[in-house]
Amino acid sequence: MPRRVVIAGASARALAESAHRLGIEVYAADLFGDRDLLAAAKNWYLAMPYPEALPDLVDRFPPAAWIYTGALENHPEIIAAISQRRPLAGSSPQSLALVRHPDLLARMVEDAGLLVPETRCSPHGLATDGSWLLKPQASAGGHGIRRWFGWQEGDQTSNRWVWQRFIPGQPWSAAFLIRSGSHRLIGVSRQLIGCSWCHAKPFSWSGGVDLAPETLSPSRLALLDRLGDVLGMACGLTGLIGVDFVVDRCGRGHIIEVNPRPTASMELIERSTGLSLVAAQLTGCGDNSPSAKPIYSRQEIWSKAVLFTPRSLRFDDHAAEVVASLRNPWTAADGWPAVADVPMPTQTIAAGRPVCTIFARGQSAPDSLRTLIRRTTALSAAVC
């Protein structure tokens, strides 16, 4: 594997830890600078203003390939600027333009015989009864999404929007590893969306429960196989790719969104199977080194949740001690860090923003989820 890697985006912690476990030097720039990122990175910068500061900050790091993380796909001009100065281990800005444009993505998905919710670029003629969703074009993690009941104050000046027909059903995420046009489905997860026990807003991504692909029905696996062909061959994506889809009440899968980079749910795959995310990303993007470990069968089910604060929170030394007192026995029981993305002391976290990430494992998905809810509720009561 290479000696070093550069990671940039909204949150670099998961990939940084993955690289650190392989002995790779990590250089990172992100929005949070949490304690665990600083422990994994040789050098790190706070990316403010985000994302405009990233090209200059990344330019300060030594020569190395770079990987972008969550939400940066909404800024292809930033990706292009950084990629002019160092090799990109990820999907190109040209490929992003295909999968992040609602009309182009819908056309490719439908041409492959797959379903995608009807999407509009204008609310003209749409019902305002909540049967449509209002979504920011530059979206990530479900932030800013809501049912469409008409314009609210500030909407028309604050964002560029799309309207998507709401599909009631079960939210899922699929993880692909794509290299040279070929694809491999490496994991699926049940998404946790808008969970009240996380203090999450209605459509905010609250976490996920990792499952083996073979738990899906043959018809659903065939659907994802066709989608993998589209992403690899038609879109030219490369590396780790996430796809959000909803299974409706009739069992049909609707493709909601493509995330052309490692996603937040993928670190569960690393815990469940031993596959190194960074090794997979680098090999998927042309590095010839083998992955650190092969995928093996899931013996236990891992899950994660993002805890949001319902009010403005001063995260001081006392809060850090409280988190540690809960985290340490959970970590000892699991063999992996049970709480991540822990803020540095003296930070003020605004209401509605993430506090930290909690993990749990179990012999089954319900067992893992029960432990996750119990841990998240305990940490919330102690800190929030």
What are 296-336's pLDDT values in tens digits? 678 899 999 999 999 999 999 999 999 999 999 999 999 99
User: pLDDT grade, residue 292 (50/70/90)?
Assistant: very low
Indicate whether 218 and 366 sit together in one domain: yes
Indicate whether 200 and 64 sit together in one domain: no
Indicate whether 54 and 135 sit together in one domain: no
Inter-CA distances, 294 with 236, 274, 280, 317, Å = 25, 7, 10, 40
Rounded Cα–Cα distance for residues 282 and 277 (Å): 9
Instruction: Name the domain boundary from 106, 137, 165.
Output: 165
Residue 376 included in any domain: yes
Check which CATH number belongs to the domain holding 56 and give it: 3.40.50.20
Rounded Cα–Cα distance for residues 206 and 381 (Å): 17
Residue 22 included in any domain: yes
Indicate whether 43 and 22 sit together in one domain: yes
Check which CATH number belongs to the domain holding 290 and give it: 3.30.470.20
Instruction: Name the domain boundary from 33, 67, 88.
Output: 88
Instruction: Name the domain boundary from 148, 165, 182.
Output: 165
Indicate whether 161 and 286 sit together in one domain: no
Indicate whether 241 and 210 sit together in one domain: yes
Indicate whether 137 and 45 sit together in one domain: no
Residue 282 included in any domain: yes
Question: What is the DSSP secondary-structure string of 84-131?
Answer: TTS-B-S--HHHHHHHSSHHHHHHHHHHTT-B---EES--TT---SSS
Q: How many CB atoms lie within 10 A of CB 98?
A: 20
Residue 201 included in any domain: yes
Residue 141 included in any domain: yes
Range of the domain at 351: 170-383
- Judge contact between 1 and 279, C-beta under 8 A: yes
Global pTM value: 0.94
Indicate whether 179 and 312 sit together in one domain: yes
pLDDT score recorded for residue 324: 96
Indicate whether 123 and 237 sit together in one domain: no
Indicate whether 330 and 191 sit together in one domain: yes
Which residues are bridge partners to 173 per DSSP? 189, 244
> Considering its fold, how many domains does the chain have in total?
3
Residue 365 included in any domain: yes
Inter-CA distances, 122 with 74, 135, 159, 297, Å = 20, 11, 13, 46
User: pLDDT grade, residue 139 (50/70/90)?
Assistant: confident
Residue 102 included in any domain: no
User: pLDDT grade, residue 373 (50/70/90)?
Assistant: very high
What does the pLDDT look like over 180-210, one tens digit per residue? 889 999 999 999 999 999 999 999 999 999 9
Indicate whether 155 and 200 sit together in one domain: no
Indicate whether 229 and 298 sit together in one domain: yes
pLDDT for 345 beyond 80: yes
Residue 108 included in any domain: no
